[in-house]
């Protein structure tokens, strides 16, 4: 349900027309050496490049696949610079606005019914949380763990038997607003868990013996903004002191080596870490909830997109965690299991060496807090659509991911004290 906003805020919000991305392009470049990597960094200084992968300019390195979005106005100059320097590149998307519109390629089954094959806006997700509670009162409860800077509620769904303390897994989706397939998976997980209980042997066993805490949308304000104003929005919507730029990257705002990576202190950057660890209401709500349930939470799983990876600690250091072999074994089997459905290939490993170094991530924070099985899924795809995965790919993505999550959950049930 939409909350009533002060009249002034409504006027301000309505005054901003939704951003259009007509003829904007998505480039994929593979710098062959440090010199070519530096050329991309230099282009980013003089042009507005939106880095899709890696998440920021300073991560760009030799032999890395680099995806970035560029405006129609600047695309010709970028292309000339790449040609001039004999750099390998391809244009993955020629007109971003067209791809945004093509995302919605699934027709609604029955109007009014919640669809798991479509992307759902925040209003629909809130209505869905109520519906799940009403439909499965013995299995699903909703906990308001806090609210956002724009005063939207942060809801966690608890799935499992009401009585008795048992092992639990905490899962969150949508920490980055534009990664829409992530909240779609959290909805799918709740739907499948409740639907297959007593029908599916593994799910029945899991729900009889464990609880799942599911945060379907972590970054609610950003998610709403990505639906209504700017499809490419990543951060939350908090105001930053002494800056006209809005938002903090919530996945750089956790107290895990928070300020160790340079270039996360610019409020205008997409990976801005915030003014202090847990400075954001959303981060604080999640950390308070996890800390207060620490004796039962045995695993933490967070869902992102895109690049088809299963990651584990650490991001802020190349040092391997003490139970590295255990994490690697679970990730290897998890990715193998995932691939059995549609042969989708994932790679796995520590964040720092598999994707790029990060500081202040939720994954590292949860691990350092004492949750020794923490994983991050980077869901489909590998860049053809990037953040604009068509709706027709939602169900296959969710089905294969579910296999891996069920495997991890079984492992947690059996192997954690």
Q: Do residues 238 and 326 both lie within one domain? A: yes
Asked which of 73, 103, 133 is the last residue of a domain, the reply is: 103
Q: Do residues 325 and 402 both lie within one domain? A: yes
Instruction: Please tell me the predicted confidence (pLDDT) of residue 77.
Output: 95
Instruction: Please tell me the predicted confidence (pLDDT) of residue 7.
Output: 42
188 in a domain, yes or no? yes
The C-alpha atoms of residue 117 and residue 109 are separated, in whole angstroms, by 9
pLDDT (mean) for 370-378: 98
Instruction: Please tell me the predicted confidence (pLDDT) of residue 3.
Output: 44
14 in a domain, yes or no? no
Instruction: Please tell me the predicted confidence (pLDDT) of residue 15.
Output: 64
41 in a domain, yes or no? yes
pLDDT (mean) for 226-241: 97
The β-bridge relationship of strands 210-215 and 167-173 is parallel
The C-alpha atoms of residue 170 and residue 140 are separated, in whole angstroms, by 14
121-136 pLDDT per residue, tens: 999 999 999 999 999 9
Q: Do residues 159 and 66 both lie within one domain? A: no
Percent residues over pLDDT 70 in the chain = 96
369 in a domain, yes or no? yes
Q: Contact at 8 Å (CB) between 298 and 374?
A: no
Q: Do residues 351 and 241 both lie within one domain? A: yes
From first CA to last CA, the distance across the chain in angstroms is: 40
pLDDT at 234 over 50: yes
Q: Contact at 8 Å (CB) between 52 and 69?
A: yes
| Interaxial angle between packed helices 181-196 and 394-415, expressed in degrees from 0 to 180 and rounded to the nearest 10 | 60
Q: Do residues 88 and 180 both lie within one domain? A: no
Q: Do residues 264 and 169 both lie within one domain? A: yes
Q: Do residues 141 and 98 both lie within one domain? A: no
For residue 34, the domain's CATH number is 3.30.70.340
pLDDT band, residue 264 (cuts 50/70/90): confident
Confidence (pTM): 0.94
The torsion region of residue 360 among left (phi > 0), alpha (psi -120 to 50) and beta comes to left
pLDDT (mean) for 37-63: 94
108 in a domain, yes or no? no
Mean pLDDT of the chain: 94
Q: Do residues 93 and 133 both lie within one domain? A: no
Residue ranges of the alpha helices (H) in 4-94?
A: 7-15, 34-46, 72-84
Q: Do residues 160 and 128 both lie within one domain? A: yes
Residues noted as catalytic: 378
Q: Which domain holds residue 178?
A: 122-415
Number of domains in the chain: 2
For residue 314, the domain's CATH number is 3.40.630.10
For residue 301, list its beta bridge partners: 171, 375
Instruction: Please tell me the predicted confidence (pLDDT) of residue 254.
Output: 98
pLDDT (mean) for 26-34: 97
Q: Do residues 86 and 192 both lie within one domain? A: no
Phi, psi of 241 (to 5 degrees): -60, 140
Lowest mean per-residue pLDDT among 139-143, 264-268, 335-339 = 264-268
Asked which of 103, 133, 160 is the last residue of a domain, the reply is: 103
pLDDT at 104 over 70: yes
Q: Do residues 266 and 335 both lie within one domain? A: yes
Q: How many CA atoms lie within 13 A of 316 on its CB side?
A: 22
132 in a domain, yes or no? yes
pLDDT at 1 over 80: no
216 in a domain, yes or no? yes
Instruction: Please tell me the predicted confidence (pLDDT) of residue 111.
Output: 79
Q: Contact at 8 Å (CB) between 181 and 379?
A: yes
The C-alpha atoms of residue 372 and residue 417 are separated, in whole angstroms, by 11
pLDDT at 244 over 90: yes
Asked which of 38, 73, 103 is the last residue of a domain, the reply is: 103
Q: Do residues 169 and 232 both lie within one domain? A: yes
pLDDT at 302 over 60: yes
126 in a domain, yes or no? yes
pLDDT at 69 over 60: yes
């Amino acid at each position: 349900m939409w909350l009533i906003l002060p009249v002034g805020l409504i006027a301000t919000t309505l005054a901003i027309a939704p951003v259009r991305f007509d003829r904007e392009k998505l480039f994929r470049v593979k710098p062959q050496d440090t010199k070519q990597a530096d050329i991309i960094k230099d282009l980013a200084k003089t042009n507005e490049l939106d880095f899709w992968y890696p998440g920021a300019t300073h991560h760009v390195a030799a032999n890395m696949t680099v995806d970035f979005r560029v405006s129609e106005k600047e695309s010709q100059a970028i292309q000339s610079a790449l040609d001039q320097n004999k750099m390998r590149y391809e244009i993955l998307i020629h007109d971003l606005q067209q791809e945004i519109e093509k995302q919605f390629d699934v027709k609604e089954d029955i109007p009014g019914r919640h669809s798991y094959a479509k992307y759902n806006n925040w209003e629909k997700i809130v209505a869905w949380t109520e519906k799940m509670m009403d439909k499965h009162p013995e299995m699903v409860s909703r906990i308001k763990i806090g609210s956002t800077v724009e005063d939207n509620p942060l809801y966690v769904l608890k799935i499992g038997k009401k009585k008795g303390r048992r092992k639990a897994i905490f899962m969150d989706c949508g920490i980055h607003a534009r990664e829409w397939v992530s909240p779609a998976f959290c909805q799918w997980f709740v739907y499948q868990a409740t639907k297959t209980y007593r029908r599916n042997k593994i799910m029945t066993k899991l729900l009889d013996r464990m609880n799942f805490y599911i945060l379907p949308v972590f970054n609610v304000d950003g998610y709403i903004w990505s639906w209504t104003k700017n499809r490419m929005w990543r951060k939350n919507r908090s105001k930053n002191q002494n800056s006209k730029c809005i938002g903090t990257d919530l996945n750089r705002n956790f107290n895990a080596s928070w300020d160790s990576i340079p270039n996360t202190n610019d409020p205008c950057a997409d990976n801005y870490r915030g003014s202090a660890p847990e400075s954001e209401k959303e981060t604080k709500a999640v950390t308070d909830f996890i800390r207060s349930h620490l004796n039962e939470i045995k695993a933490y799983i967070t869902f992102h997109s895109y690049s088809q990876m299963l990651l584990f600690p650490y991001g802020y250091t190349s040092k391997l965690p003490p139970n590295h072999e255990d994490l690697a074994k679970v990730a290897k089997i998890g990715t193998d299991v995932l691939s059995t459905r549609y042969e989708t290939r994932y790679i796995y490993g520590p964040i720092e060496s598999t994707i790029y170094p990060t500081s202040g991530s939720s994954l590292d924070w949860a691990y350092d807090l004492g949750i020794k099985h923490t994983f991050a899924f980077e869901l489909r795809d590998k860049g053809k659509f990037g953040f604009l995965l068509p709706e027709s790919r939602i169900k296959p993505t969710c089905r294969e991911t579910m296999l891996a999550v069920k495997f991890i959950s079984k492992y947690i049930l059996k192997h954690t004290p």
